[in-house]
Amino acid sequence: MEVPVTLPSLLANCTGGERDVVVEATTLRGALDALLAAYPLLRPHVVTEAGRLREHVNLFLNDQNVRWFDDWGIDLSPGDTLTVIQAVSGG
Amino acid sequence: MSRVLVMVGTQKGAFFCWSDEARGSWRVEGPLLKGWEVNDLQLDLRGGEPVVWAAVGHHVYGATVQHSRDLGRTWTQVENGPRYAEDAGRTLERVWTVVPGRQDEPEVLWAGVAEAGLFESRDGGESWREVPGLNEHPTRPSWSPGAGGLCAHTVLLDPADDRRMWVGISAVGVFRSDDGGETWQVKNDGLPIAAPDKDHPEVGSCVHKMVVAPDRPSRLYQQNHQGVLRSDDGGDTWERIENGLPSRFGFPIALHPADSRTLYVLPLESEEYRFFPGGRMTVYRSRDGGDSWQPLTAGLPADGYTGVLRNAMAVDGLGPCGIYFGTTGGQLFASHDEGESWQAMPGLLPRIASVTAAVLP
């Protein structure tokens, strides 16, 4: 299943200038893995050395922040979209 | 006629300032790497064609190394950049410096990072590996971060001995390798130790910036959190050289490219305030290896309540040498007469993290 992913403009240098990309995946975890496999330059910007989301990076599945999901293995549905976005932090 | 390039790294991108040998007027390009914190920019001419290496980061998106092969127009992120192992329990918080290796090893680069560590590339920056002799040093359990974190910010290569190099780590001290980076020794003898550790009392000196004399490589100078110091034996011992300075505190130190006795510092008003004493922006120059200091103020503001960060002062290779520094308030200042007079360079930039200067044919 094709999953659209939207990235912040600051990271477009990691995807050949594209803010909107598409990955093939059936689960949330699979989509993140596919994104980082397809665009390896994104990896240090999105996840830590230990593979967790960076502290101030949010990943939204549609309008839900996946940071609060217990299970990233959940199935995706047609029409689902992912968005990588900077957390609102600081002043 | 040669071109002079002053590369400025800021909190929100890089700016390249171009001039000719006269250095009377400047053309500013930027922001390059727009939105990224640029902690260091180094011009690498070893391969014939110029390559600019950038230590890049962001408080949200983390740190990487980028390079440009067209003098800043386009940039490429290194794919397998410095990065701690998954199980290391350490985080790459910032790349502080990227240092090209020696002339006869054009594929070698070094990177000093926070949390403190040294990385090495032997394939022209394509891939990087940790330097375990330093990163797993026996004193490592006693390394404690200072206010700026635990950062390996300075990497120096001995210009005469291709096996010798130094690393400066804030709140830890100076390390020297005499075998190309395999093993490292603490070189803090004579340096102030901020808070001696019970297990390794030899570490805990907060070196802020360090330089090695190109014409006399046994001579090192450093601006420390607690003073300005000199070594004449490759770091084995250090002595204070603060006679005439208004403050022991500051960040950058720069050395004349052709005279190991002429150096420049920018004292700040104590660790509590970190701006120019009384707001009087002043560069201090020594012509005698630090035994005495002369204040230089011509052309500099008298109301300069700002500071200068550790990587934000540089000299070019011309004669008379040019000196450049950038402030946390985003202003650049230049002298093309070895510090006798100063001019504000064009632009009001974001907080300036680094300044490097180069001369291109």
What pLDDT digit, counting tens, does each position of B4-32 carry? 999 999 999 999 999 999 999 999 999 99
| CATH number of B232's domain | 2.130.10.10
- The percentage of chain B sitting over the pLDDT mark of 90, rounded to a whole number, equals 92
- Is the backbone peptide bond immediately before B196 cis, with ω within 30 degrees of 0? no
Q: Which pLDDT belongs to residue B253?
A: 98
Query: Range of B188's domain?
Result: 3-360
The pLDDT confidence band at residue B167, using thresholds 50, 70 and 90, is: very high
> Does A10 contact B36 at a Cβ distance shorter than 8 Å?
yes
DSSP string over B209-250: EEEE-TT-TT-EEEEETTEEEEESSTTSS-EE--TT-S-S-E
The partner residue sitting opposite A45, judged by closest CB among B62, B85, B90, is B62
Q: Which pLDDT belongs to residue A90?
A: 55
Inter-residue contact B207 to B173 (CB < 8 Å)? yes
The partner residue sitting opposite A41, judged by closest CB among B59, B79, B83, is B79
List the 10-29 stretch of A: residues with Cβ below 8 A of B: 10-11, 13-14
Inter-residue contact A55 to A45 (CB < 8 Å)? no
Does the pLDDT value for residue B75 go beyond 80? Answer: yes
Average pLDDT over residues B266-288: 93
Number of domains observed in the structure of chain B:
1
Q: Which residues in A lie closer than 8 A to residue B85 (C-beta atoms)?
A: 49
> Does B60 contact A54 at a Cβ distance shorter than 8 Å?
yes
Q: Which pLDDT belongs to residue B201?
A: 95
Inter-residue contact B22 to B336 (CB < 8 Å)? yes
The partner residue sitting opposite A48, judged by closest CB among B79, B87, B91, is B91
Q: Which domains, from first to last, does chain A contain?
A: 2-70+80-86 (3.10.20.30)
Does the pLDDT value for residue A91 go beyond 80? Answer: no
The partner residue sitting opposite B61, judged by closest CB among A11, A40, A49, is A11
The minimum CA-CA distance between B79 and chain A, rounded to whole Å, is 6
Task: Please indicate if any CB of chain B lies within 8 Å of the CB of A37.
Answer: no
Q: Which pLDDT belongs to residue A89?
A: 62
- The percentage of chain B sitting over the pLDDT mark of 70, rounded to a whole number, equals 100
Complex ipTM above 0.90? yes
CA distance B208 to B210: 7
Cβ neighbours, 10 Å, residue B12: 17
Average pLDDT over residues B186-212: 95
Dihedral sign computed on CA atoms, order B139, B141, B144, B145:
positive
Does the pLDDT value for residue A71 go beyond 90? Answer: no
Lowest-pLDDT choice from B55-64, B268-277, B283-292, B303-312: B268-277
Q: Which residues in A lie closer than 8 A to residue B87 (C-beta atoms)?
A: 50
Report the predicted TM-score, pTM, of the whole model to 2 decimal places: 0.96
Which tops the pLDDT comparison, B215 or A39?
A: A39
Task: Give burial (CB, 10 Å; 0-12/13-18/19+) of B65.
Answer: buried
Residue partners of B69: CB distance under 8 A and separation at least 6: B49, B50, B51, B76
Q: Which residues in A lie closer than 8 A to residue B75 (C-beta atoms)?
A: 13
Write the pLDDT tens digit of every residue in B97-115: 999 999 999 999 999 999 9
The pLDDT confidence band at residue B272, using thresholds 50, 70 and 90, is: confident
Write the pLDDT tens digit of every residue in A19-51: 999 999 999 999 999 999 999 999 999 999 988
